[in-house]
Amino acid sequence: MSELKERWHYQAPLPQGAIEAGQVILRDGTTAELRPVSPGDRGLIAEFLSRTSADARNHRFFGEVSMGEAVERLLSSGDVAERAGLLVLAGHGADVRVIAHGSYVRDGEESAEIAFIVDDAYQGKGLATLLLERLALIAARNGIRCFRAPTETGNVRMRDVFRSSGFTVSESHGDGQIEASLSLEPSERSVEQAETRERVATVASLQAFMKPRSVALVGASRDPASISFRILHNLVLDRFDGPVYPVNPRASVVASMPAYESVGSIPGPVDLAIVAVPSSAVLQVARECGEKGVRALLVISAGFAEIGAQGKRLQEELLGITRSYGMRLLGPNCLGLINTAPGVRLNASFAPSFPPHGPVAMASQSGALGLAVLEYAAELGMGLSSFASLGNKADVSGNDLIQYWEDDPDTRVILLYLESFGNPRRFARLARRVGRSKPIVVVKAGRSGAGSRAASSHTAALAASESATQALFEQTGLIRAETLESMFDTASLLASQPLPQGPRVAVVTNAGGPGILAVDGLEATGLEAPEAPEGLRARLRELLPAAASTGNPIDMIASATARNYRDVVSATLDDEGFDSVLVLFTPIGLEDTHEVALAVREAVGDARSRGNGKPVLTCFMGQDPEELALGGERIPSYRFPEAAAQALGRAYRYASWKRSPMGRMPEFPGLALGEARELVREVRERGGGWLSADEVRRLLSSFGLPLLGERLCDTAEGAAAAAAELGFPVAVKLASRTILHKSEWDGVKLGLDSTAEVQEACAAIEERLREAGRLEELDGFLVQQMAPPGVELMIGVAPDPLFGPLVALGLGGIHVEVLRDVVFRITPLTDRDASQMVRGIKGYRLLTGFRGAPPADREALEEALLRVSRMVEELPEIAELDINPVRALEPGRGCVILDARVRLH
């Protein structure tokens, strides 16, 4: 596969929702609605064109055209394979209006003409680029590879759109016009540009939440026991840096502050409105906020999707209102929002405490859990940059917040408590990118009740939601914590210490038992506790009593003094034989805990002054001394050695992932994508289902997957003739679109050496089916060349309702279900993913030459995985796929598919 890595395949980023419909975020952070053009839009389009300037219409239609003709041309729609039109709308109720239109019309086998028109008042907000991106995604799925855009020479703005899009653009000039040609093949630049535009817009849309200039609290109560009173109390006493406006139609004063009858009666502008009223009143409040020009709506109120169908309808109506006014919505049913930045100090929550400012940001899907988390962070003395309770995630999600925190200078570590994934494929893409600069630690709840889905293929039978979740963590560098406590243990280390550069850990202790527990914990997490190098041991013998152990753990015995701790920690930090240092102290009564903590702090401070960047962790056995703060650094302390070892293990795995090359997708030349799509279209027209043997061969061949020489034959005589043509020995297999497991019907005959044996095998298969009354299900006989010896594996694809296609690799035949030795990954796979899959199965040693057997061609196996991934990304109609077995041959000889089944939606 090495020669393939000279060219890389890039995949355009997908939006949060559907490609052709849903909320879009403009460059300035406001929102609008995207949807396809429909025949009922005549009035909306006519009104839109009446508002646009003559210049804009002339640029769009290349001169003056009648209003009626212009409307008809923008109204035109049909099969998206031939033409597509999209509208962007703003406004609410009767005031809904079109603000942009984009369309393409196919004019060649792989090309289409594209055009846009944008409301003059919305120019410069990225609408044309946004429409270009969405139309390109739709067109690419329909085999269009190029957009043509005839443009007047004077239409500078549109030419800038094309040039800044990131697509490869070429221009030809003539007769006062320029024809721009845009290749829709994603490139590194086009992907980077699209991701940057999305991030800029998302961050802009969240500014009113995170850094509001003013806040209104709607539903402010005089009752000190109410949630809204606590929110108002927090806003004021935690010193929000801006005006706070209580809104209560039945009170003129709340908490000694002037109150307002409605949001509309507030004299100044409002960036953020916090809504704490009964759910039945929320919609009207949202409309009033929209009319006021509020940018961000934080809905504390419950009674929405979490209570059932009626609440879900209410939530959808609320979301429609916020979108129609260009607002963003956090919640509903949430705890609130906190930003500790000194210039903001926003406590828009009913949490009882305001955390100190620090480098950790957190989002929680559970409000109640958020309260406990904030209390626990306060106990630990861990500073937070910001905290957001997501509630029902009607609009603002963890994906949005990750993008905000990506560029937030106050945030170094991101924590997430999630109960569900809204768009896991987009989440995976964001996490993979953001994780390169900032660690993301996640607790994912709900892992135990997944179970397997009923399905007919091996792969689908093995796949479960937890398989997809674990694959996501493996692929993205996310740090998975099993509990909230372990999340904060890990965050304490990541927020305050350098990342470990290697696995070697020195354990410094004054008691043997905790030292042994620490070593066991370290090795269980993949770290090492090697013997101290001889040079260091000689130095330690000079520093410690004769009874001390200078191996590892370095046991200074119970009489160890604070001076011993300072000297030994300093020595281990300086020694090149270790990458990290874990310091344990058991309070035996011979030395003061605080003196030891000061000694450790002094040793670490001296090491830092010498440029030593090794991480240091401590365990003061049930205590947490305050003396471990060191300027802007805090040396993390844990109650027990195992917790420290696990936190360091997670940090080391993250550091290893961060240092490894970013995975990429090779470009495979010569793929017959058009033929594959035509085959899929044919099968879809007959209602989908399992493909015939011939169709499977056509599909796999289109993507360059390695197949044996084979023939599909209707009769035993034809099979015998095909066998003679292919050359003996051969295999004969039952071919059927409804009988899926051939071995259960004795439908596989191997090593046949003559035409007579082939005919006998065919007759036996026919007889077996006749006896069972299923002869009509026989499509024919598949005659195959016999494959060379090798290791048999299985490659499969199963859909997950949230994560999309899962690719599986495991041992072949029935062993994959019996032994469950299978690894899953979410598509699209990178070369790094494929390599990890091959090395991740328990049977990997069989591929390396076990007990004298020849090794297998692992690189060819990786390439097969990547080609399968590309196939299911290009053809989302693939519902299930089993390549079982695929035989990995000796190195240099590749691999070959012996049997495969494919089902289409």
pLDDT for the residue numbered 6: 64
Higher pLDDT: 480 or 449? It is 480
Q: Which of 50-59, 169-178, 309-318 is predicted least confidently?
A: 169-178
As given in the structure block, the two tokens for residue 595 are 């003196």
Q: What is the mean pLDDT of residues 774-796?
A: 93
Whole-angstrom CA distances from 704 to 668, 697, 737, 886 are: 8, 10, 23, 14
Residue 155: is its pLDDT beyond 90?
no
CA angle 159, 163, 168 (to 5 degrees): 125
Q: How far apart are CA 574 and CA 576, in angstroms?
A: 6
Residue 462: is its pLDDT beyond 60?
no
Name residues whose C-beta falls within 8 Å of residue 634's C-beta, 6 or more positions apart in sequence. 381, 492, 495, 496, 628
Closest C-alpha among 112, 89, 110 to residue 33: 89
Answer whether 599's CB lies under 8 Å from 556's CB. Answer: no
Q: What is the mean pLDDT of residues 721-747?
A: 89
Place of tokens 């059927």: 736
Q: How far apart are CA 464 and CA 467, in angstroms?
A: 5
What's the sign of the alpha-carbon dihedral 150, 152, 155, 159?
positive
Q: How far apart are CA 204 and CA 216, in angstroms?
A: 20
pLDDT for the residue numbered 816: 65
pLDDT for the residue numbered 850: 79
Backbone angles phi, psi at 563, to 5 degrees: -65, -40
Answer whether 885's CB lies under 8 Å from 812's CB. Answer: yes
pLDDT for the residue numbered 454: 34
Upstream peptide bond of 885 is cis (omega within 30 degrees of 0):
yes
Looking at residue 277, what DSSP letter applies? S
What torsion do the CA atoms of 592, 596, 601, 605 make, to the nearest 10 degrees? 130
Whole-angstrom CA distances from 1 to 708, 731, 855, 873 are: 20, 29, 17, 20
Q: What is the mean pLDDT of the chain?
A: 91
Place of tokens 């019309």: 105
Q: How far apart are CA 587 and CA 581, in angstroms?
A: 19
pLDDT for the residue numbered 373: 86
Q: How far apart are CA 218 and CA 250, in angstroms?
A: 12
What torsion do the CA atoms of 847, 848, 852, 854 make, to the nearest 10 degrees? 60
Q: How confident is the model at residue 756 (pLDDT cuts 50, 70, 90)?
A: very high
Q: How far apart are CA 852 and CA 830, in angstroms?
A: 32
Identify each DSSP E strand in 705-842 by its residue range: 710-713, 730-735, 748-752, 780-785, 791-800, 804-811, 822-826
Higher pLDDT: 810 or 853? It is 810
Q: What is the mean pLDDT of residues 582-587?
A: 95
Q: Identify residue 308 by its one-letter amino acid code.
A: G
Q: How far apart are CA 628 and CA 171, in angstroms?
A: 63
Q: What is the mean pLDDT of residues 425-445?
A: 93
Q: Identify residue 808 by its one-letter amino acid code.
A: A
Q: How far apart are CA 147 and CA 150, in angstroms?
A: 10
Half-sphere exposure of 493 (CA within 13 A, CB side): 33
As given in the structure block, the two tokens for residue 728 are 């003996």
Answer whether 812's CB lies under 8 Å from 819's CB. Answer: no
Q: How confident is the model at residue 461 (pLDDT cuts 50, 70, 90)?
A: very low
Q: What is the mean pLDDT of residues 600-610?
A: 95
Q: Report H helices in 435-587.
A: 458-462, 465-476, 484-496, 512-524, 534-543, 562-574
Give 484-499 as a DSSP string.
HHHHHHHHHHHHHSPP
What's the sign of the alpha-carbon dihedral 681, 687, 693, 696?
positive
Answer whether 619's CB lies under 8 Å from 637's CB. Answer: yes
Q: Which of 261-275, 391-405, 455-469, 836-850 is predicted least confidently?
A: 455-469
As given in the structure block, the two tokens for residue 565 are 């701790």
Q: How far apart are CA 277 and CA 300, in angstroms?
A: 8
Upstream peptide bond of 212 is cis (omega within 30 degrees of 0):
no
Q: What is the mean pLDDT of residues 721-725?
A: 94
Residue 451: is its pLDDT beyond 80?
no
Answer whether 132's CB lies under 8 Å from 151's CB. Answer: no
Closest C-alpha among 329, 249, 318 to residue 284: 318
CA 746 to chain centre: 44
Place of tokens 């997809």: 468
* Size of the chain, expressed as the number of residues it contains: 905
pLDDT for the residue numbered 468: 83
Q: How much is the CA Rg of the chain, to the nearest whole Å?
A: 32
pLDDT digits (tens, 9 = 90+) for 670-685: 999 989 999 999 999 9
As given in the structure block, the two tokens for residue 215 are 């806040």
Whole-angstrom CA distances from 646 to 483, 489, 521, 668 are: 12, 9, 7, 41
pLDDT for the residue numbered 815: 62
Residue 455: is its pLDDT beyond 80?
no
Answer whether 249's CB lies under 8 Å from 238's CB. Answer: no
Answer whether 87's CB lies under 8 Å from 101's CB. Answer: yes
As given in the structure block, the two tokens for residue 264 are 């509309």
What torsion do the CA atoms of 816, 821, 824, 829 make, to the nearest 10 degrees? -90
Q: How far apart are CA 630 and CA 649, in angstroms?
A: 23
As given in the structure block, the two tokens for residue 890 are 């000796």
Residue 460: is its pLDDT beyond 50?
no
Backbone angles phi, psi at 868, to 5 degrees: -65, -45
pLDDT for the residue numbered 817: 63
Q: Which of 465-474, 619-628, 811-820 is predicted least confidently?
A: 811-820
pLDDT for the residue numbered 453: 38
Q: Which of 405-409, 416-420, 435-439, 894-898 is predicted least confidently?
A: 416-420
Strand partners for 260: 247
What's the sign of the alpha-carbon dihedral 112, 117, 118, 124?
positive
Answer whether 488's CB lies under 8 Å from 380's CB. Answer: yes
Q: How confident is the model at residue 447 (pLDDT cuts 50, 70, 90)?
A: low
pLDDT digits (tens, 9 = 90+) for 514-559: 999 999 999 999 999 999 999 999 999 999 999 999 999 999 999 9
pLDDT for the residue numbered 458: 41
As given in the structure block, the two tokens for residue 727 are 């050359």
Give 220-247 as a DSSP string.
--S-TTSHHHHHHHHHHHTT-SS-EEEE
pLDDT digits (tens, 9 = 90+) for 369-419: 888 888 888 888 889 999 999 999 999 999 999 999 999 999 999 999 988
pLDDT for the residue numbered 761: 94
Answer whether 699's CB lies under 8 Å from 676's CB. Answer: yes
Backbone angles phi, psi at 82, to 5 degrees: -110, -35
Q: Is 67 exposed, middle or buried (0-12, 13-18, 19+ CB in 10 A)?
A: exposed
CA 456 to chain centre: 28
As given in the structure block, the two tokens for residue 21 are 């419909």
Q: How far apart are CA 183 and CA 109, in angstroms?
A: 14
Q: How far apart are CA 729 and CA 787, in angstroms?
A: 10
Answer whether 296's CB lies under 8 Å from 208's CB. Answer: yes
